[in-house]
Structure 1
């Protein structure tokens, strides 16, 4: 009769061991699944650097649009289109800061180690006339920002000069400058092409290069 409790204890221990052994792989699988999910969550988005650059391009353009449209709204709502000098300065400063930020130069590429100097090659006969030069690559965004700042300066002058007849003529170049900036951003910012049905195709930027020499094909 004394052996019976011992048997029960042994049976209980055996069952517990079997249950633990069966549950072990399940717990390990759940742990591995959580680990894989966490690694997937921590992984970067494929192509994130390029997409971030595109988002920044739009952000820079948007950062210019808001202060310029604020200035336009203030002028057009003002009595006879005239602003006090202090108000004009308060509105002009954010515009200038936004244009400067949007036109900031991109980070320079890392410099490569210098290679040993090579002997000079003999001079070749000129294939092009002296007046032909290598055409620099166009920078439509920089041109648009510069033109916009000039238009804004003209608007500020008209809005503080006391002549209401000059205000309307100064507003249109600012609006045109904003449209040019948006177009230059779309064409030269490496953004995806618009795909809305009914939109006309955007023109391509002119390619820079060397003029072709006469008689060459």
Structure 2
């Protein structure tokens, strides 16, 4: 008579084990689903991330130039009569050149597309009668009316001018003439300001929205509008 309860207990344990074994994976899958979704959401890219990263890089390149140049200026201005040992001047000038070279680097050009085959020649057509020659239009002026030049790449021009002014400062700081140092510092400061201005104007950055700040000028397109030629008679 004792065997019957033992069989019932064994059957109950077996059924319970089967139910738990079946429900376990289902419950685990259900609990993992929200966690997996949150991980996928965390890895989702920021909208317009590439464009924003390009703006961040533009500012980073400009900032990477500012720091070594200001370090050079600070060291020269604090030195006795603005003079530095040649080794120290070279050591300070090297990061400036590297930063300017990095900021001036351009993206590699895309490979040229394969040329399309030449179209088969068309049959010759009968010659048309010549039209009378029109009078030549007067030559357009090569320069702007006020003699100013429009920069095709303001940032590149600013970097080039900054490097030249830094070279002049290093030469003055190792040449023994304090007067030359005093005259070489302002062009470097102006070069930094020009670089910042060129970066803000032509770097594709968002427009400033500080109250009371005047609007920045638009970046030149590389060529100014030429005056229209007079109508032919």
Q: 1:96 — aligned with what?
A: 97
Asked whether the equivalents of residues 128 and 213 of structure 1 are also in contact (C-alpha less than 8 Å), the reply is no
1:130–1:198 Cα change, 3 Å: closer
2:139 corresponds to which of 129, 134, 150: 129
Which of the numbers 151, 174, 177 marks the counterpart of 2:165?
A: 151
TM-score (norm 1): 0.81
Q: Which residue of 2 aligns with 1:109?
A: 110
Deviation of the 1:18 alpha carbon: 3.6
The alignment status of 1:211 with 2:221, answered yes or no, reads no
| CA spacing shift, 1:41–1:110, aligned 2, 3 Å | farther
CA 1:84–1:5: 2 relative to 1, 3 Å: same
Determine helix, strand or coil for the equivalent of 1:214.
coil
Aligned length: 210
Task: Structure 2: state its 5+ residue gaps.
Answer: 122-133, 144-148
- Equivalent residue, structure 1, for 2:210: 196
Q: Which runs of 5+ in 1 are unaligned?
A: 120-124
Structure of greater Rg: 2
In the TM superposition, what is the alpha-carbon distance from 1:143 to its structure 2 partner? 0.6
Match of 1:122 in 2: none
| RMSD of aligned Cα (Å) | 2.9
SS in 1 for 2:171: helix
CA deviations 1:97-156 (Å, max 9, x no partner) are 22112111222123222234578xxxxx887736559x9872010010011112112212
Aligned pairs for 1:41-190 (under 5 A) are 41-117=42-118, 129=139, 131=141, 138-190=152-204
